[in-house]
Amino acid sequence: MIADKKLISASSSETVDTGVAFGKLLKPGDVVCLYGNLGAGKTQFTKGIAQAMGINPEEVQSPTFAIIHEYASDVPLYHLDCYRLESAEEAMNIGIEEYLFGQGVCVIEWPEVIESLLPDHVRSVTIEHEEKEKRRITIHQKA
């Protein structure tokens, strides 16, 4: 069994850089679940994934209210934030499956509410607040 990869980020930019390295490994159709509390750094990490995909990271803003932001590139990035969704049914009603099973890379903040809808194989990352600007990032290995 391969162990999860754990690393410490000392700043917002280090979390973006970690997202870049992680993003380079992604392929069309991949789904990435980002776990972590409010302000942990999930959107910062997503900026890194975007950068790795040739998207300007400054354009990546939290889709908390829109739920979904789509960024065009050779492989499109679908950035989802399910914080404001109350149920998997609500997610279905707004057409979330189109993104989960689409041709782009799908990155999901607050995925808990839609776990029953996810494909069998997803990549998962957990970001935990340690102290001040310090975060522990865990890249979970594929099951």
Question: What does the binding site for ligand ATP look like in residue numbers (CB under 6 A)?
Answer: 9, 11-12, 14-15, 36, 38-44, 62, 109, 133, 135
Query: Hey, what amino acid is at 15?
Result: T
- Between CA 84 and CA 64 the distance in angstroms is 7
Provide CB contacts within 8 A for 40, sequence distance 6+: 127, 128, 129, 135
Minimum distance from CB of 80 to Mg ion (Å)?
A: 10
Contact criterion met (CB below 8 Å) for 135 and 40: yes
Is 11 or 138 the residue whose CB approaches ligand ATP more closely?
A: 11
* Residue found by looking up tokens 């870049």 in the block: 20
Contact criterion met (CB below 8 Å) for 118 and 110: no
> Does residue 79 bind Mg ion (CB under 5 A)?
no
Using Cβ positions, the residue closest to Mg ion within the complex turns out to be 43
Chain CA centroid to CA 3, Å:
20
Minimum distance from CB of 120 to ligand ATP (Å)?
A: 26
Is 46 or 104 the residue whose CB approaches ligand ATP more closely?
A: 46
Is 37 or 73 the residue whose CB approaches ligand ATP more closely?
A: 37
Minimum distance from CB of 62 to ligand ATP (Å)?
A: 5
